[in-house]
Amino acid sequence: MTMAAGGFRFGRIILEPTVVFFRSKLSFAFVNIKPVLPGHVLVSPVRVVKRFCDLTEEEVADLFTSAQKVARVLEKAYDATSLSIAIQDGPDAGQTIEHVHVHLLPRKKGDFERNDDVYKALEEHDKQEAGTLSNLRTNEEMSKEASFLADLF
């Protein structure tokens, strides 16, 4: 895994290594600084790539295989019955970090009044995360969750 000075690179952001809980040859998964639902995590390619279509075939295969592995663990770890899996590819699709990433959200019956409200919450989450520093989790909180998840692999 290629690391930036002091952590993992996610677009312009340097992540602390302690928030990363899964690594494959070409991808990594990390906990979310402001999860929409408990267990909301991100899976991203190691190489910083802005758009999905700019990934190599090998990166696409590794990203989706990694997302599938992480999804299996999340569903069990958070006692979920389903998952929402989303990629916001480009700014007009709501992408705020210029690095391809897959959102994995463990879902349960009734977690949103209307099922598709999860996408509105995701859009609001990204706007808030990009524009403000309020209600963000501490590195300690994120590291604790990452450690819990890492132990499940």
Q: How far is CA 17 from CA 4, 5, 12, 81, 100, in A?
A: 10, 11, 15, 30, 19
What's the pTM value of the predicted model, to 2 decimals?
Answer: 0.90
88 marked ligand binding residue? yes
pLDDT at 84 over 60: yes
The residues assigned a catalytic role are 101
Q: In whole angstroms, what is the distance from residue 18 CA to residue 36 CA?
A: 20
Residue-wise pLDDT tens digits, 90-140:
999 888 899 999 999 999 999 999 988 998 888 777 665 555 556 789 999
139 marked ligand binding residue? no
32 marked ligand binding residue? yes
pLDDT at 2 over 50: no
